[in-house]
Homo-oligomer: A and B are copies of this chain.
Amino acid sequence: MNGAESLVRSLLASDVEVCFTNPGTSEMHFVAALDHVPGMRSVLALFEGVATGAADGYWRMARKPASTLLHLGPGLANGLANLHNAKKAGSGVVNIVGEHASSHIALDAPLTSDIEGIARPVSHWVRSSSSAADVGFDAARAVRAACTAPGQVASLILPGDTAWTMGGVVADRLTPPAPPRPGDALVEQAAQALAGPDSLLLLGGGAMDAQGLEMAGRIAAKTGCALMAEWASARAERGAGRVALPKVPYPIDLALEALAPYRRIVLLGARAPIGFFAYPGKPARLTRPDAEILELATAGADLPATLDALVQATGAGGTAAPLAKASLPDLPPLGPLTPDSIAPLIARAIPEGAVVVDESVTTGRAFGPATTGAAPHSWLNNCGGSIGYGLPVSIGAAIARPDRKVLALISDGSGMYTVQALWTLAREGLDVTIVIFANRSYNILRGELTNVGVQNPGPRAIDMLSLDRPTLGWVDMARGMGVEASRVEDTAAFALALEAGLAAQGPVLIEAVM
């Protein structure tokens, strides 16, 4: 078999079953191998940022990596921003990047670039195969790297001749390294620190699953400590029957206020809270200056085992965790769509088992509290801050979990970044209900202008934050890419459209004009 076929067979042997792709000439042998070898689902994206974001979403819901297949350096470059987001979320992704044949690279053809250089800033692992015989084993190593806790970005660069030359060898799956767990002394120290309402257990990463939260809830009930989640979680299990956690707010003043009570903070899968940006005259570290911060376990540690050990050390084994009760907010009055009138409608509509992909930015700041008692669901945040993550992540989530409804909450500015995702949603018939919050501005930046100390911004500055000239017609754009769509302007119409969208099979887009 040639190297390309050994790639596909080795990926399958490592349990990689999905490939998000936009291929080119240098990847044609891989495309042919995807065709000849049964078992790999190939999903075409019209832009590589869609492919890499989809791989991120797939990992979050499948707990195993998908591959991407990207065309040379520029194809990888187009996927870079969502790989940045995946890296920050701790998502495992296996990028397969085609390269010119080895003999061709030195000639500096038009598409030649420094692919390793482009890959490195967003990858934990980068390798170029040197022969067809290496491709299978390199693929297995890439998957192992991607599966290294909490999940990593692995980029395997394959020169064309490694694909078309015979001599490919299928490699077996390689076991990723076991995640570390903290020693008993550190666990004991953490248990001591968690005593009373001025102590905080800050959770992140894999600690946000239902079992992890339940253990954290016992610890809090036993010790009296507070619980909080990081500003963003790659995936948090929420809703009725789960332990509800507030999260560190995005606006810096609210974050400082929320963290002010805590003198002792234990980090479990989370990092010490810092500002999203630096603001003149404000601290970068959001915790009080005298806070003692204990890093019990990083996101890459064995978080279930760490939580279990902490339950034992705090003597919380027999304590019940406080679980959120099923409770839906009241219907908002009939009227215009605002963040506050939308939040209860979202909460009431979330179907049981839904995957909520949240890129609602400023519109969504009230969604967290409103949905605490909603039907149980998974909530996915953007952890890397690069907009354009939501629609692609929805693709991956829907492919990973076809048994669950995906609800994508997308701000208009963010949605435009990877709007091509709509076509893939339609092509694959994915069960995703998309809400576009059409506030027609980069609303977050209006606040940030003030936060960073800009006084009296003028009309040309405001114009750079406005999306209203011309108005974006989301219904037209969605239809142009094969997605059924409607436009709503008040709470009643939104509630009806959301109910209908969630009841339908396949992708539906709702433009919510604010």
Contacts and interface: CB of A to CB of B under 8 A. Distances in A.
A313 interface: no
A417 interface: yes
A474 B28 CA distance: 28
A28 B111 contact: no
Contacts of A160: 277-278, 452
Nearest to A82: B74
Interface stretch (A221-229, A363-371, A383-391): A383-391
Contact of A277 (B36, B81, B100, B120): B100
Interface in A448-480: 448-449, 451-454, 457-461, 463-465, 467, 469-480
B278 A385 contact: no
A413 interface: yes
Given A77-B77, A107-B284, A477-B477, A452 B113 contact: no
Given A111-B276, A113-B122, A480-B480, A420 B419 contact: yes
A40 B88 CA distance: 36
Copies of this subunit: 2
B46 A467 contact: yes
A451 B26 CA distance: 11
A475 B383 CA distance: 35
A457 B21 CA distance: 17
A114 interface: yes
Contacts of A480: 472-478, 480
A387 to B, nearest CB: 8
A125 interface: no
17 contacts: A24-B445, A29-B452, A32-B457, A32-B458, A35-B459, A44-B463, A46-B413, A47-B388, A77-B386, A78-B80, A84-B113, A104-B275, A110-B232, A110-B384, A111-B276, A472-B480, A473-B479
A31 interface: yes
A30 to B, nearest CB: 10
Contacts of A46: 413, 416-417, 467
A118 interface: yes
A42 B451 CA distance: 22
A448 B81 CA distance: 29
Given A31-B461, A109-B275, A448-B28, A470 B416 contact: no
A115 to B, nearest CB: 8
